[in-house]
Amino acid sequence: MAASGALGTFRLPPLPTIREIIKLFKLQAAKQLSQNFLLDLRLTDKIVRKAGNLTNAYVYEVGPGPGGITRSILNAGVAELLVVEKDSRFLPGLQRLAANTGSKQRSRLSVMAQYLCHVQHVFTIPGRAFVPKPEVEVGVVHFTPLTQPKIEQPFKLVEKVVQHVFQFRRKYCHRGLGMLFPEAQRLERTGRLLQLADVDPTLRPCQLSVSHFRSLCDVYRRMCDEDPHLFAYNFREELKKNKRAGQEREADRESRSL
């Protein structure tokens, strides 16, 4: 995976934490590979500083794992970073970054990477190229940051829309989009969002292109502008509130029956 350093004034938004990445891909350190995950960014920054001034340097990292030290290297202002990982458990993350529309590998990570960068699977290194030979192949992914994001909306808004769509990745896209809205207006507002964005409600999340998400985010932004409380809505909080209310009603009925 290579990242270009020619960013100018363009800055990528905050990445998920290493702990979140480990949780997302259900990773565990493999004892046979002497793996241990270092999660403290302060410590990984300290390690990288010991390598000297890496500004505009070309860096090669072997065995990045979930990317703890990788992130600190990128933060050091390198010109280019190439990482090679032979542990196949970390490859789905790379595959998802470059997954095309319609691919089973396409995920929230694919969309979030591709609306900000041109992401390309460059080549695959066969296991026989390594000593000792691993039982897996290594994928190399190249990122070229775009001077203008494909979705011109705040990162948090894009992240929210994409996250809601992919939380029900096996369902039609209208299922996840509906969770953006309070239950009382969910059906009407979801229909309006899809209609104005010109998106087929029976498409599945992996079938949605970046253009689809751009339309959805643009319309959702307009809806948030119309309703200042909409963006702060969290369907999980509403579920908890409804559950508590139900428990209170049940307790009240039981007390009345005594």
| pTM for the structure as a whole | 0.63
In the chain, the amino acid numbered 165 is V
Measured from the Cβ of residue 87, the count of other Cβ atoms closer than 10 Å reads 16
Residue 69, burial from CB neighbour count under 10 angstroms (0-12, 13-18, 19+): buried
Q: Flag whether 100 is marked binding.
A: no
**162-182 pLDDT tens trace:** 999 999 989 999 999 999 999
DSSP type of residue 14: P
Of the listed ranges 131-135, 144-148, 198-202, the one predicted with least confidence: 131-135
Q: Where are the domains of the chain?
A: 2-145, 155-240
**113-140 pLDDT tens trace:** 899 988 887 777 777 776 566 676 767 7
Q: Residue 203: what pLDDT? A: 97
Q: Flag whether 53 is marked binding.
A: yes
Domain covering 155-240 assigned CATH 3.40.50.170 in the classification? no
Determine the Cα–Cα distance for residues 252 and 185; give it in Å rounded to an integer.
29
Inform me whether the pLDDT recorded for 9 exceeds 60.
no
149: left (phi > 0), else alpha (psi -120 to 50), else beta? beta
Please report, for residues 30, 54, 71, 147, the alpha-carbon distance to residue 64 in angstroms, rounded to integers and kept in the order given.
14, 17, 9, 27
From first CA to last CA, the distance across the chain in angstroms is 67
**219-258 pLDDT tens trace:** 999 999 999 999 999 999 999 888 888 787 777 777 777 6
Looking only at the bridges linking them, the beta strands covering 80-84 and 2-4 are antiparallel
